[in-house]
Structure formats: C-alpha cells, structure tokens
Copies of this chain bind each other. A is one copy, B any other.
Amino acid sequence: MSDPPPGAFDGHAHVYPLRVYYEDTDAAGIVYYANYLRFAERARTEMMRSLGLNHSGMMAEEGVVFAVRHCTADFLAPARLDDWLEVVTRITGLRGASLGMEQWVRRDGADLVRMSLKLACMTLAGRPSRIPATLRAHLEEFRNRNDP
C-alpha cells in the first residue's frame, strides 16, 4: 500500500489527523462525547505504529495488550461534522507496568478536548505485566523525543 500511515511526529509530539463523519456526531449537531475516546485510541495506535509497534504483533509476540486504567477528559469546545481535527499524543510517564499519556484534540490550533490517561500493560489473560524490554525501549525513545 503506498499511502503513508496517518499521523507523524512533529518534533514535539505525535499528531494524528482525522475527519469528523456523520457516525461521530449526534442529534445535538456535535461530536458525541464518548467518540473523542475513540479518536484518542486511534491516535495512540498510530503513535505506537510509528515506533514499529502494533497491537496484533504485541499480542502474538509479547503476549501483552495495553488497557486504559484511568482517564480524565475536559471537553472545552465541540467539534462538528466535516471538521478536520488533530489528536496530539505525548508520553508523560513510563513505569514498570504502566504508561502515562496526555492527548489533545484540536482544530486549527485550538484545543477542544484535553485528556490524561494511565494505561496498564496486561497479559492476554488479563493479569498485570511488566512492559517487555523491547516495547519499553521504543516507548522510552519516544518519551525522550516528545516534549516533557
């Protein structure tokens, strides 16, 4: 496939672009609040892929998944149909078995939603697991490159 992967590191953080489609909106004419969490997960997936990590590979080779344990979201302003948004993703903490992240959804440079998340590394059976060394190395490298 010749298309570039969506999203890229912009020198400060990973930036993932997306369009707002009908499926994302609700009868109030704005993006439904839970859907920002879907946008954020797409962005985390592409951030990981930009480091050479994908979910299927992590499951098959390392036997782990990352699960969101804690999430805080501030909804500052609504996005609307046809908007072109960016989700900005940074790693703010890296511990033995968990990961801290900050993510923003912005439009034309203005923040619409600000999120803070804690993700735990889990075995496929659902038990907490240390982050495998190869994963950790990639995540550390990203954290060191992104803004603190």
Are A1 and B19 interface neighbours, CB within 8 A? no
> From A56, which residue of chain B is reached at the shortest CB distance?
B82
Q: Which residues of B contact A35 (CB under 8 A)?
A: 34
Q: Report the nearest B residue to A74, measured CB to CB.
A: B70
Q: Does A29 contact B (CB under 8 A)?
A: yes
The residue that A41 contacts in the complex, of B23, B30, B45, B56, with Cβ under 8 A, is: B23
A67 touches B (CB below 8 Å): yes
A24 to chain B, nearest CB (A): 8
When chains A and B are docked, how far (Å) is the Cα of A126 from the Cα of B126? Answer: 24
CB of A37 to closest CB in B, whole Å: 4
Tell me, yes or no, whether A14 is within 8 Å of chain B by CB: no
Which parts of A10-36 form the interface with B (CB within 8 Å)? 17, 19, 21-23, 25-30, 32-35
Q: Complex formed: what's the CA distance from A23 to B22 in Å?
A: 11
Contact A41 B34 (CB under 8 A): yes
Q: Which of B5, B6, B41, B80 contacts A27 (CB 8 A)?
A: B80
Give residues in A with beta carbon < 8 Å to B.
1, 3, 5-6, 17, 19, 21-23, 25-30, 32-35, 37-38, 41-42, 45-46, 54-57, 65, 67-75, 78, 80-82, 84, 86, 126
Known: A23-B34, A72-B72, A78-B126. 17 other contacts (CB 8 A): A3-B84, A6-B6, A19-B42, A21-B38, A22-B28, A22-B32, A22-B41, A22-B45, A22-B55, A27-B29, A33-B68, A33-B71, A37-B37, A68-B75, A70-B72, A71-B71, A72-B73
